[in-house]
Every structure is written in structure tokens, then in C-alpha cells.
Amino acid sequence: MHQPPFWNLVPTWCDGVQVFNVSIVAVPTTAPQAYNTDGIEPMFSRNVHISHCFIQNGDDSVTVKSGSHNVLVENCVFQDGHGCNIGSIQGEGVSNVTYRNIQRNNTLLGGGRIKARHWVDEWVVVENVRTGPAPLARYMGAC
């Protein structure tokens, strides 16, 4: 995908998703139009495998969103964006997420975060999150 204007790949209410060898090149973080050029964001999905992807964008590289379980993200390169994330708008919990062997180049926020904006009047649970070796080529600091 080249220069997409908004969220790129958002599998929603899926089971058994496989995303392999996908390249997303969007507007980099420094551009004003970079907001919401998110890469891959499984939402309310389970048994997701994302591997060997290159994502250069100005927002979240991969975000495992609300209601997603059993997600493996591995052997990817994230350039310029916000890296490995969990959460965003949370209505249901997230569990069993693994990020491993992720190369983060020039990413913001240390290359990952857990974030939550609740749209329900109760707490959600984020549990069993693992990260493996994740080289950080350059960290841009907080935004």
C-alpha cells in the first residue's frame, strides 16, 4: 500500500487472520497529514498472525485493539511511526499478545505503548502481553 490517507488494514471481527509480507508506506511522522495513517490494527479479532511486514507511517505501526486475543506480531520492521501498541479505544479487554523480533527505526514513544480511551463505564483488562528482543535504531522521544 502506498500513501494511503487513513487507517490501512483493520481486520474486524475475524478469526484466523494471517498478514504476511505486507508493505505499507504512508506519510512519515514529521508531516502534518500523518495523523491516522495507522498500519495494521486487528480489532475484536482472535488468532491473528502478522509477520514479515514493513510499515512506514506517521501513526501507530501495529495496534492490537479492543476485544482482540491470541495475537502474534513478529519479524517486522516499523519505520517512523509509533511502533508496537495495544489499546486505543477500549470497550473490551485484550489478551495473549506477543511482539517479537521487531526492528523499530526512528519510532516515537520508545516504539510502543498501552493506551486506553474507554467508551464503557467499566474497566477493561489487558493481560498476558509479551515482547521479545526489539532493537531500537533511534528513539525520537515523546510527542
Query: What residues act catalytically?
Result: 59, 82
CA 136/CA 111 separation, integer angstroms: 8
At residue 40, what are phi and psi to the nearest 5 degrees?
A: -120, 130
For residue 56, give every residue at least 6 positions away whose Cβ sits within 8 Å of its Cβ, in sequence order, or none. 24, 25, 26, 28, 78, 79, 80, 81
DSSP structure class, residue 36: T
